[in-house]
Every structure is written in C-alpha cells, then in structure tokens.
Amino acid sequence: MKDLHGKKVAALLSGGVDSSVAVALLVEQGVRPDLWYIQIGPERDQTDFTCTIEEDLEMARAVAAKYRLPLEVIDLHHDYWEKVVDYTMTQVRQGLTPNPDVMCNRLIKFGVFDERVGHDYDIIATGHYAQTEEEEIAGRISEGLISDNPDSGNPKCGAEPASNRKVTWLCTSPDPVKDQTDFLAQLQPWQLQKACFPIGHLSKAEVRAIAEREHLSAARRKDSQGICFLGKIDYNDYIRQYLGEQPGQVIDRETGRVLGLHRGLWFHTIGQRKGLGFSGGPWYVIEKDLRRNILWVAHGYDPIAAYSDHFFVTAPHWLTMDPFVYYGVNGVDGLNGSNGQNGTNGTAGVSDGQPSLAVTVKIRHTPDFCPATITRQPDGRLEVHTERPLQGVAPGQFCVIYDQQRHRCFGSGEMRV
C-alpha cells in the first residue's frame, strides 16, 4: 500500500465487505480517513425498481461508528445518469456492448467525486482488487509520458521531463478471479496517482477473514452482481423502457435458416448463449447487422464462428505512458536505452512496417489472460492478434492490455472487428 503518512485521505465506502475491510486496513496503518458514500441508483420516480441503498448505508454507518470516523453521503445521482447512463444507452443504440462499470470509475468515483470534494484530498481509497507501484524513469521518453494535468484529456506531454521522474503503474491483484484492473483501465493518469487500493494485495478469502476478525457487519454479505446503477433491476427490462422493442429476424449463419424473431438487437451481445429461446440449440450470437436488423447466430456447444483471434482497438487509452515508447519501438530509446526490451521483459518489433509489441490481453472480466501482439496502425488504432481464438469478441467492450507478465496494466480501448 502507498505511504500515506501525512496524507489527507478520503475512503469511498459502499457498504460491502471489500470497502469495509479497506477502511479497517487504513485505520490499522494509523490513517484516519474521511468516509464517503456515493449515492447513485434508479431514477427517483421508478418506484417499482428496488435497490439496496438503505442497506448499503446501514452497513457504511456501522463501519463509521466502529472506527469513529466521519461519514458523509454525496448524491451524484444526476451526474451518473447524465454521464454513465447516457454513455450506456448511446452504445446500446449503436449496436455496441457497453461497460458502464468501467465508465463509472473514470467519470464518477474518480471523476465527479474529485470535482466536488475529492480535490481537497491527497488520496482516494477504494475497495478495488488492484495494486499500484511506482517506478523512477529517465531517458528520452517525454513523448510516451501521459500528462498528469486533469484538464488535459490524456494528451502526451509536450515538454521534456526531468531526468528522473516517478510514475505510477496500475498492477494486477494476486487474486486472478477478483482482479479489477480491467474496470480501472480507463482512469486518467492523475486519477491513478491519487488512487489507493488497501486490499489489492489480498485474496477474497483473506478479505473475508479480516472482516470476521474485525467483526464487521458486511463480513458475510454477498458480493454485488451486475451493473452498479441497476441494483436488482433486470437489464433487459431497463433497456426496453428506454429504447422499446424493434423485432427482426434471427438467422443461422451456416444454413441461412430463419429461426424466429428477436425483440431488438440491443437486448443481445456478441457471444451470448443463454436467453435466446430457440429450440435445437445451443445457439451463439455471432453478429448484429444493424442495417438489416438481423441477429446472426451459430449452432453448437462451441462453434468456431463464435471465436476470433483478430480484431482492432480504437482510441487506445494509456494509463501511465505509451508502451511502444516504454519498450523502445517508436523511434525512441527504451528506458534502458534498449531497442526491443527493457526491465519488464517486453518484446517489441515491427510488423508490416508498423510498430508491434508482445503483450497479454483481457476482453472481459475474467481471470484468463491471453498472449497477443498489438500493432499500431497509421490511423492510431491497434491491430490485435491473439495467440488463441477468443470467444465473444464484442464491439464496444474494452480490450485491456497488460505486459507479458500479466502484472502491469497499460490501458484499454474499445474493440471493433
């Protein structure tokens, strides 16, 4: 965990076991954080929708009382719906698969919260399963450093940095099942520098053991599931309320046979197998044709058509610095003055005249990493070739890019096929 001596710390408390233990560990280190509960949820006039806000707050108040820490509630409901829900609906309407939890971290928990009150703090601590580490860098790498100016929108620095500069990397949790770096890979560099993840070095079992030891109310509380703003709301019901239905044909790609009708392409995602409702299955969703409003499917328990080992990443977002520069493949020396390798064993080269880099990737929240090669295209996109075909490459979802050791997270970008 970061050295927090003399730092003013805000801890975001959700009422769950992870954030509760994060607070316990901060207190154990002699830190007395201010506790904040961010209130978001269904629209206030949605009386038929249930949410866990009251239960969450009860758990949060219990933690505050136990450690005699101040707890404030900040209502970011309007901001969430204006930013994250609007993003979600825009993506869905375009036939893409959104990831609102990724954008919630960037835009709300480390975004609007900082604008409102977080700017008064040196550190914002959360209960995410992730770690950070610092590295002192030097050399001709100014074009790879990402600006730490919160108003910069993630451009590269224009000025040469000092000969030695300390940067912050986002790193994976030792618990591969719970690792949440994929949800944090769109943070701005200045947000990452302020972030602290007290439980990031622990497994879920260890977190629950600490909660039991500390007699925390949330010790045996179940983990939350699904999209953060929906609570217990059914996702399809919510989409239907906003976008309605738009029936179209469902067609077997191999035979051309019409299986029936879908109620709207926005109810489906690439790689989906459950909930299609057609006999003779299983069926996998492999393509959404927006122009003709056709849902294309493939038959079988593991159809080849459901897999891909080649796709593109649009507008890659780097958390700390451009990895092509870090590994010395962009016409700039690497950190050790090398051209192709550095201290983290990254392998760089050229593919079809374009810079390429060996990495590992994730395309969904899963413990599985896949070795891959990313090649920078002249238009700024990344071409990704994975070592093995991946099931369900869904346009709109994020491809998260890590080093070969599956340790450092470089950043992410939306996938296209």
Q: What's the CA gap between 19 and 217, in Å, rounded?
A: 12
Q: Which CATH class is domain 245-302?
A: mainly beta
Q: What's the CA gap between 409 and 417, in Å, rounded?
A: 23
Residues 6+ apart with CB under 8 A from 57: 15, 37, 73
Which two tokens mark 360?
Answer: 């590992």
pLDDT digits (tens, 9 = 90+) for 48-62: 444 567 889 999 999
pLDDT interval class at 149 (50, 70, 90):
very low
Is 90 exceeded by the pLDDT of residue 244? yes
Q: What's the CA gap between 295 and 268, in Å, rounded?
A: 8
Question: Contact 74/52 with Cβ under 8 angstroms?
Answer: no
Specify the pLDDT at position 120: 96
- The CATH number of 9-130+172-213 is 3.40.50.620
How many CB atoms sit inside 10 A of residue 268's CB?
Answer: 20
How many CB atoms sit inside 10 A of residue 301's CB?
Answer: 9
- Crossing angle, helix 204-213 and helix 17-28, to 10 degrees? 70
Which one is catalytic: 196, 228, 399, 409? 228
196 is an active site residue: no
Between vectors from CA 233 to CA 230 and to CA 236, what angle results, nearest 5°? Answer: 100
Q: How many residues does the chain have?
A: 417
Burial letters 9-19, b for 16+ CB under 10 A, else e: bbbbbbbbbbb
Is 70 exceeded by the pLDDT of residue 230? no
Is 90 exceeded by the pLDDT of residue 215? yes
Residues 6+ apart with CB under 8 A from 143: 156, 157, 322, 325, 330, 332
Which two tokens mark 249?
Answer: 């044909």
104 is an active site residue: yes
How many CB atoms sit inside 10 A of residue 70's CB?
Answer: 10
Q: How much of the chain, in percent, has pLDDT values that exceed 70? A: 83
Specify the pLDDT at position 270: 93
Residues paired with 351 in a beta bridge: 354
Fold of 307-416: Elongation Factor Tu (Ef-tu); domain 3 (2.40.30)
The burial of 77, by beta-carbon neighbours within 10 Å (0-12 exposed, 13-18 middle, 19 or more buried), is given as middle
State the number of CA atoms in the 13 A half-sphere of 319 facing the CB.
30
Specify the pLDDT at position 203: 96
Residues paired with 384 in a beta bridge: 311, 374
Which two tokens mark 328?
Answer: 């010395």
Q: How much of the chain, in percent, has pLDDT values that exceed 90? A: 69
Residues 6+ apart with CB under 8 A from 340: 327, 328, 329, 334, 347, 348, 349
| Total-model pTM | 0.88
Is 90 exceeded by the pLDDT of residue 192? yes
Write the single-letter amino acid at 324.
Answer: F
Is 80 exceeded by the pLDDT of residue 325? yes
Is 80 exceeded by the pLDDT of residue 66? yes
Q: What is the DSSP letter of 415?
A: E
Specify the pLDDT at position 330: 57
How many CB atoms sit inside 10 A of residue 229's CB?
Answer: 22
Q: Residue 98: which of 243, 245, 254 has the closest Cα? A: 243
SS (H, E, C) 109-168: HHHHHHHHCHHHCCEEECCCCCEEEEEEECCCCCCCEECCCCCCCCCECCCCCCCCEEEE
Is 60 exceeded by the pLDDT of residue 163? no
Is 90 exceeded by the pLDDT of residue 28? yes
pLDDT interval class at 159 (50, 70, 90):
very low
Q: What's the CA gap between 394 and 413, in Å, rounded?
A: 12
Higher pLDDT, 144 or 125: 125
pLDDT digits (tens, 9 = 90+) for 260-277: 999 999 999 999 988 888
The pLDDT of 193-198, averaged and rounded, is: 97
Structural domain boundaries of the chain?
Answer: 9-130+172-213, 245-302, 307-416
pLDDT digits (tens, 9 = 90+) for 299-311: 988 889 889 999 9
Tokens 């990493």, residue? 369
